[in-house]
Amino acid sequence: MFQNNILLIQLKEKLRAKNNFVEGIVRSKGKDFGFLEVNSQKSYLIPKSQMKKVMHGDRIIATIKSNKDREFATPEKLVIPYLNRFVGRIYAKNNVILIMPDNPCLKELIPCKNIESLKYKFQNGDWAIAKMCAHPLKDKCGFHAELIDFVIKSNDHYAPWWVTLSRYNLERKPPTVDLIEMIDENLNRKDLVDLDFITIDSINTEDMDDALYIEELSDGNLHLIIAIADPTSYVSEGSELDTIAAQRCFTNYLPGFNIPMLPRQLSDNICSLRPNYRRPVLACSVMITNEGNLLNINFFAAWIKSKAKLAYNEVSDWLENIGTWKPTDVKIANQILLLYRLCLIRIKWRQNYALVFQGRPDYRFLIGDKGEVLEVIAEQRRIANHIIEEAMVLANICAGKILNERLGFGIYNVHLGFDLTNIQQAIAILAEHNIIVDAKTITTLDGFRLLRRQLDAQPTQFLNNRLRRFQAFAEISNKPGPHFGLGLENYATWTSPIRKFGDMINHRLLKAIIIGNKISCPDNSLIIKISERRRLNRIAERDISDWLYARYLLKFVGTNHKFITEIIYISRKGIKVRLLDNGALAFIPLSSIHLVRDEIICNYENGTLNVKDKFSFRVSDIIDTTITKVCVDTRTIFVRPII
């Protein structure tokens, strides 16, 4: 009854102030002491004797005491523990089984309580999942963990994949659900099997979810049909498989392989738009004028039969008049040439009325039989990649428009440009470069598009990189909204339903429009789930890549092998860079730049680092580096600039 009593709350605040209580996060410094970080401007030393009570990352309440003009923090209460469920390595010491969390900031060996209850006999170095069951500030005893499950043996080459997936509680295997026959959806499917649909993908792609057919009309305009694989014709809403897809949300693309959202029998076979197989699709018919405008958008269900499975590199070679590959017949050649024409028209339209960004290469790991990295291949985006990209962007614009006009909801990708809390900082930086804007203008879609074009016209990417940290993140929403990053009024993806659950939902919404059924708006809890799973998948892919990069680049330590490197971030500790040959992220410590620390001036705000009057670096610079050290355990790579 006293929980919300105002007087009681005020009394607690007075007592806290009187006893010098503060709340903050523990930051370990790796030398038996740490700091309590209250905010970006204030921190207190935690002595060695008190660090035994806490762990790096714990949010705690502490009392502050002074001694000889120095303030110290004494941990008193645990607010939020840093560790709960975690993955670590097993160690045996004095007949006690301990686990060390797989975290570069944590070096504590934590005793495990329940070894006898587990069937698996752990060996030194084995990986396991554990959860914290005792904390000194909460349980008045030492740290203790409880083992939940075995992950993988210490010497297994596939540790990067299974350890990372276990850490984020992500699936290791495809779903194994017995499939049923097609659902009777009361859809009148058009028979388009005689049209010359083609697919263009990576040469090893099995889950082909889009096919295209294009023709030139008598007035010179183009008529495009985008046919998308239709898993919702097999997966009924609320079924067991639908529940699994809603839990996974995405096919998880990892270095070396993928873990599909749907059973492989469905994603790689029954629904995949393989050549010469009759397949059900959801299709969009649209006319494109020579100026790039979209007219007569129409969604419908259909049957198609792809006439050719084409590969990006081969199609690009043919269009660039290199290599030996050529289309099997004149009809396929005509489809490619018309799609190329469409691509050029739409790129020009987006340059004038939306936004087109320069893409980075895709980096692909070539993995050996034992999980080793044989090579990292940089795959540039070529003509054929752009053909498919423009067709899919066009298709998603159509879906966003129809869902907005007919329903007012759907699964939308939304990006609002600059984060409003950082808008004034962005305006100040632009002013330094003689680009004068105001908050009212650049928070509109038209204003943001105009600014982006000005930035793209800059001689380097320096200003672009400085402004990137002031932009908001793209989000998933159940309501239409602008996508500033693409320069579009709204954007709803439906072109990858065998890979994305959100696209499956948009399929069901579009089908409801086609049939004329009523359908409800996807609820916010689903939006949150999709967003969180997307975040976890991206983190998992990054963590596995970092691990594989560390393994791969170990052989270059101490050699004279030169890497072309882009500076992406400058801090007081050093420079974060990307190796452009393979995409790895690395770090240049200040000591590798100049031995006299006081002669180095790092300006985080300006993205610059100067060494007296000798030389300087800035964000977006391209420099040459060599690898000096690789720590596989922490997945960190250190490089030195060649000055």
Measured CA distances, 410 to 107, 249, 398 (Å): 46, 16, 13
Other Cβ atoms within 10 Å of 614 Cβ, number = 9
Residue 160: closest CA among 342, 330, 16, 367: 367
Side-chain half-sphere of 298: how many Cα atoms within 13 Å?
Answer: 10
Is 201 a residue of the active site?
A: yes
Is 624 a residue of the active site?
A: no
Catalytic option among 102, 210, 268, 546: 210
Q: Is 292:356 a contact under the CB 8 Å cutoff?
A: no
Backbone angles phi, psi at 326, to 5 degrees: -150, 155
Catalytic option among 126, 196, 207, 230: 207
Measured CA distances, 563 to 360, 566, 579 (Å): 17, 10, 6
Catalytic option among 312, 363, 549, 552: 312
DSSP states along 267-317: IIIISS--BT-EEEEEEEEEEE-TT--EEEEEEEEEEEEB-EEEEHHHHHH
Place of tokens 């009854």: 1
Is 207 a residue of the active site?
A: yes
Catalytic option among 102, 209, 503, 621: 209
Catalytic option among 167, 248, 279, 499: 499
The whole-angstrom separation of Cα 539 and Cα 532 is 11
The whole-angstrom separation of Cα 617 and Cα 608 is 6
Q: Hey, what amino acid is at 402? A: I
DSSP states along 188-211: --EE-TTS--EEEE-TT-----EE
Is 168 a residue of the active site?
A: no
Q: Is 205:258 a contact under the CB 8 Å cutoff?
A: no
Catalytic option among 126, 201, 268, 546: 201
Q: Is 412 exposed, middle or buried (0-12, 13-18, 19+ CB in 10 A)?
A: buried
SS3 content of the chain, % helix, strand, coil (to 5): 30, 30, 40
- Catalytic residue numbers? 201, 207, 209-210, 312, 499
